Structure 1
Amino acid sequence: MGGFGPELTQFGRQFKLMGYTMKVGDQTDVPLSAMLVESFTHTQKAQTAAPANGFGTNNNTELQQVSAFLAGRLSEHIGVFAQATYSENGGLLGWDNMDWRYARMFSHGSHSGIWGISLNNNPTVSDVFNTAPAWKYPYMSADLAPGTPAQPMLLGGLAGQVVGVSAYMQLDGAWYMELGGYRSLSSAFLHHVNAHFDGRLSGVTPYARLAYTWNLPTGSFSVGGFMLNMRRGQVGTNDIGDSVALPGPTDRFRDFGVDSSYMYVNGDHTITVDGLYVHESQKLDATWGGGGSDNLHNTLQSLNLKGSYWYRHTYGVTLASFVYNGSKDVTLYGNDGSPNTQGESVELDYSPFGQSTSWHQPWANVRLGLQYTYFNRFSGRVHDVDGAGRNAKDNNTLYCYVWLAI
């Protein structure tokens, strides 16, 4: 949407399901592309400390992201989406989302569909729906402003730290099913690709996805669900300061999510409405046993709602709301012990080359974004959210960005 995504239309979903292998004519180009994001972040009140090395407590400009992509067809049935990213915040070049695919079409009697296998490094990055945690709104957001203190593991808790294989199938253009498993990558490997290491998974972490889509004359409507069941150990540091896995008990996280997405596309007008709810049950044998939490058993819940309207894929407006809540645990979360954080956001976008007839399509892609996020509550409080007099509204964030893609 809006010229160059990342939301996928029905055609975009089919392109991904077919393993990125579709091509135009005798196209043989190496599927390389790139993007750059420059941003400005302002919070209503300056933060008590700089959010990262090299930045101030407020009004920060940042080369937020420079990414190179190998994304497209490698052979008749094999394709790839692989991303490497540099960020000024941290000053590192590392790997990002990765999704290698093998896909084929099939037919059996009155049924037809697509099946495939995905090798990827982030549960839900293989998904084709706009509501999947790896692709949910906001697509660009401030990384130099206070964010949600706690959220379920399914919302990026394993991103870039694991490798997994999943098998998927779309049946009759309606049912979508995916089942896979993930294993931890070593801390040494993650250090080489400049990725975080938050602990080693115990065994294989299963992941499952089921969704049903109603294809409408002017769009689609889908309803589905997710499941992730993981155990993870604690993290320490070695003699040279690198993160390493510690022996001993593990923490268990069981996530169940439901989602829905509506898409309307009619001439100059595009509307999308998305919702995602995730419930997480925790059994914190490692954290609680080490004195890191008050409770052995905790829960977390998240609710994300978003509605967008685009005119001629050029002018866009998005309204969103978010709620994160869960068990009270003073040792784990501090203050009153509540992770309850909630608010709303509004975003205005302009993509001058968003139409198929725009100048130098499909090579020229630019998006200008203005986003404002308002917090009604932060870490369980409206006032004095950090014990030093900072209020929830002081974290309200004005975020502007320029997003270039070629």
Structure 2
Amino acid sequence: MFKHCGVSLKGAQGHRAVTLALLFFCANVSSLLFSAEAFAVPAFARQTHQACAVCHIGGFGPQLTPYGRQFKLMGYTLRVGSNTKVPLALMLIESYTHTAKAQASAPANGFSTNNNTQLQQASVFLAGGITDHMGIFAQATYQQSSGLFGWDNTDLRYARTFTMSHHTAIWGVSLNNNPSLTDVFNTTPAWQFPYALSNITPAAPAVPILMGALAQQAVGLDAYTQIDGKLYVEGGVYRTLSPAFLRDVNVGFDGRVAGVAPYARIAYTWNLKNGNIELGGLAFSARRGLTAVNRTGQIVAVSGPSDSFRDVGADASYQLLNGGDHIVTANALYLHERERLDATYASGGSSHLHDSLHALNINASYWYRNTWGATLGMSSSDGSKDIIRYGNNGSPNTSSRTVELDWNPFGKADSWQAPFANVRVGLQYTWYTKFSGLVHNIDGAGRKAADNNTLFLYLWMAI
């Protein structure tokens, strides 16, 4: 989810160093960020003079309320009064991961094959309005598992309103580094559930390219409009950044996109008395070349033919927001990908020239007073068999279910130290009904799909 500029900090020493550095950073910027008023970081809350729960379901991110959706569409510029403070915020996620059976090898240097605690994520944000019509959401993140501090999600926007006939509309442009990062619904890959998950457990062997393969590796320019708060239309193009730049900002490189990769999105929202319903679709097309490792061990692009990926999807969401104690949300996304593997097939990396993939993600949440939450989700990916690409059974078919319980003691308007202190404690369990097309012997060495079942406990803090 978070692929990550410039500093490498390894193992436990890196963990302690980053934690101390962030505490030192908080102490030294407090005089800059904190005013005598009760409106401060997180940056967006300080800018709007609203509690985080006004924009987010569940105390704080990433699920957006209708107000939060409009705030993002308006380029993060909505504000109360004048604000000249630097719009900075910090986030930490400390986690514990347990799998039903220990992995065959440690997932990263300094980790065990099971029962790992880690500083999963430590992020610094530059987030807020720059001018009356321009704003930014930019994130840099450290991960203990990689030992790297790098470039994360970034979205620079310019937005305005206009009227035509009897209609009111928002239009804007976004410069960003992750296809679907621009979206305001929690259905598309950049923002879908699980919102936090372990990054040191086995993952599905294959998913469509739109589900994170180009995250932080590409730069895109999107134009969008929303009419009467109902019809949303967006279109843009993406190009991958150079391997040298991505190395400088500590982001992986999975191949260069040939030309540009177009992205399109359409959604319609019905605003109900006590909530809203959204239905939409999205499409993405990319041609990507292969990579190789050079003499110095660096991943570089390979010249020659490229593989073609065409993703088409449909999504839906529902929110029950009646202004009371109870909030219900439901989100769904289906993606179909057609693949023409000219580069991979020619190099002997696939059994077929043409392959396909499908992915389905469905989840539903209940929140009581934005404090206690429960979410049930399911995820499934499948596609055509390819022995060379996927090995063993030759199938990418993987299906899982996830249940998560959350407690947000802070984040509401009347919370302690609002809006400075935002905390979520989450307990998540994921179980697999199928992995790599199999229930038993999924790796050729006797491991079962259920052996990858994962218990994930996390503490998520934002200030």
Same fold at TM > 0.5: yes
- The alpha carbon displacement at 1:53 in A equals 1.4
C-alpha offsets along residues 215-245 of structure 1, whole Å, 9 cap, x if unaligned? 1121110000110000000001222111110
Could you tell me which of 282, 288, 291 is aligned with 1:226? 282
Number of the residue aligned with 2:220:
164
**Are residue 32 (structure 1) and residue 88 (structure 2) matched?**
yes
Q: Distance in 2 between matches of 1:236 and 1:226?
A: 31
Q: CA deviation at 1:354?
A: 3.4
CA contact (8 A) 1:378 1:385 kept: yes
Aligned to 2:377: 320
SS across alignment from 2:215:
coil
CA displacement, residues 373-401 of structure 1 (integer Å, 9 cap, x when unaligned) = 00000000000000000000000000000
Range with bigger deviation, 235-244 or 164-173: 235-244
Aligned to 2:139, which of 83, 89, 95?
A: 83
Q: Which runs of 5+ in 1 are unaligned?
A: none
8 Å Cα contact 2:217-2:253 kept in structure 1: yes
What residue number does 2:196 align with? 140
Contact 2:385 2:396 survives alignment (8 Å): yes
Q: Deviations over 1:228-283 (max 9, x none)?
A: 00000000122211111001110000000100000011211111000000000000
The percentage of counterpart residues that share the same residue type is: 58
One-letter amino acid of the counterpart of residue 342, structure 1: S
**Residue in structure 2 matched with residue 263 of structure 1 by the alignment:** 319
Q: Deviations over 1:296-351 (max 9, x none)?
A: 00000000000000000000000001110000001000111000000201000000
Residue 196 (structure 1) aligned with residue 252 (structure 2): yes
The reply to whether residue 99 of structure 1 matches residue 163 of structure 2 is: no
SS at match of 1:189: helix
Counterpart of 1:108 in structure 2 is 164
Whole-angstrom distance in 2 between the partners of 1:305 and 1:140: 16
Q: Counterpart in 2 of 1:61?
A: 117
Q: How does 1:284-303 map to 2 (within 5 A)?
A: 284-303=341-360
Determine if contact 2:412/2:419 at 8 Å carries over to the other structure: no
Q: Using the TM superposition, give the Cα deviation of residue 32 of structure 1 relative to its aligned residue in structure 2, in angstroms.
A: 0.6
1:330 paired residue among 365, 387, 396: 387
1:384 aligns with 441
Residues 45 and 394 in structure 1, CA contact (< 8 A), matched pair in contact too: yes
Match of 1:126 among 150, 168, 182: 182
Structure 2 CA distance for aligned equivalents of residues 149 and 314 of structure 1: 35
SS in 2 for 1:118: strand
Query: Does the residue aligned with 1:137 lie in a helix, a strand or coil?
Result: coil
The aligned counterpart of 2:461 is 404
Match 2:362 to one of 305, 330, 334: 305
- The range that moved more, 166-175 or 234-243, is 234-243
**In structure 1, how many angstroms separate the alpha carbons of the residues matched to 2:65 and 2:376?**
19
Secondary structure, counterpart of 1:306 in structure 2: strand
Relative to structure 2, which stretch is displaced further, 349-358 or 387-396? 349-358
What are the Cα deviations for residues 182-241 of structure 1, in whole angstroms up to 9, with x where unaligned?
A: 011000000000001101100010000000000112111000011000000000122211
**Stretches (4+) displaced over 2 A:** none
| Superimposed CA distance per residue, residues 27-49 of structure 1 (whole angstroms, 9 cap, x where no aligned partner) | 22221101000000000000111
Selected match of 2:411 from 354, 368, 375: 354
For 2:260 and 2:357, locate their aligned partners in 1 and report how far apart those are by CA, in whole Å. Answer: 22
| Secondary structure, counterpart of 1:282 in structure 2 | strand
Tell me which amino acid in the other structure corresponds to 1:86.
Y
Give the SS at the match of 1:41: strand
Partner-residue secondary structure (3-state), 1:394: helix
Q: Distance in 1 between matches of 2:95 and 2:63?
A: 21
Which of 55, 58, 61 aligns to 1:5? It is 61
Return the letter of the residue paired with 2:384. Answer: S
Tell me the distance in 1 between the aligned counterparts of 2:316 and 2:458. 28
Match of 1:283 among 340, 348, 351: 340
Structure 1 residue matching 2:168: 3-state secondary structure: strand
Alignment partners' CA distance in 2, 1:53 and 1:325: 31
| Contact preservation (8 Å) 1:312, 1:354 | no
Structure with greater helix percent:
2
Contact 2:411–2:419 (CA under 8 A) maintained in structure 1: no
Residue 397 of structure 2 corresponds to which residue in structure 1? 340
For normalisation by structure 2, the TM-score amounts to: 0.87
Counterpart CA distance in 1 for 2:143 and 2:240 is 24
Q: Which amino acid in the other structure matches residue 332 of structure 2?
A: G
Structure 2: where are the runs of 5+ without partners?
Answer: 1-56
